[in-house]
Amino acid sequence: MAFTYPVTLNLNNRRCTVVGGGEVAFRKVQSLLEEQANVVVVSPALCEELQDLYQSGTFTWINEAFKEEFLQDSFLVIAATNNRAINHQVSVWCENNHVLVNVVDSRDESSFTVNSAVRRGDLLIAISTGGASPAVSKAIRMRLEEMFGEEYAVMLEIMADAREKAMDSITDEKKRRAFLQQLAQMNLQDVLKTESKEEVQKRVELCLSSYWA
């Protein structure tokens, strides 16, 4: 199965169900919680890491053997057990009920894969090999992490603020578009390596003011 359509999802407060309670499930739960998902774990037992996480009250635990009814109302599902039959059953249910599913031991039974990613504030760079080689994805991610530092996160904060101000203060659409294009060409991420955020903001505000006339 080819995974060729790139997409990012808003999981905030959406029910995401993880079937399984081992170390793989723990990593999946962690990543979902980072996106503020409403996580439900289905498993008769939890590994030590998941037990510790559960004590903090960050997810719901259904302490039972898997039943299809536990998948109801899920936005997406991850089948992360070490039981091939259960993972297959989860996949079939999701396919029949039009629910996104990732089966950790079967690309062919998955409707999505979880990409390796570099995050710098609002910047998200996802890397996928279509499940062919997670090791290659990791190697590329490590290289990109060196190329894109934390200055990109600060840059995007400044640009988002400047864009909002431009929408309010530049009424001429052509001028506003010209400002935003100039802003993108200022290479603020490089300037931030030698100047403070406040100094760069002053640069941007000076540029913005030149479009008010």
Backbone angles phi, psi at 16, to 5 degrees: -125, 120
92: closest CA among 70, 68, 62? Answer: 68
pLDDT in tens, 118-173: 999 999 999 988 777 889 999 999 999 999 999 999 999 999 999 999 999 999 99
**For residue 1, what pLDDT band results from cuts at 50, 70 and 90?**
low
Q: Give the pairing of strands 123-127 and 116-120.
A: antiparallel
Q: What is the pTM assigned to this prediction?
A: 0.84
> What's the distance, CA 202 to chain centroid?
32
Q: DSSP assignment, residue 82?
A: S
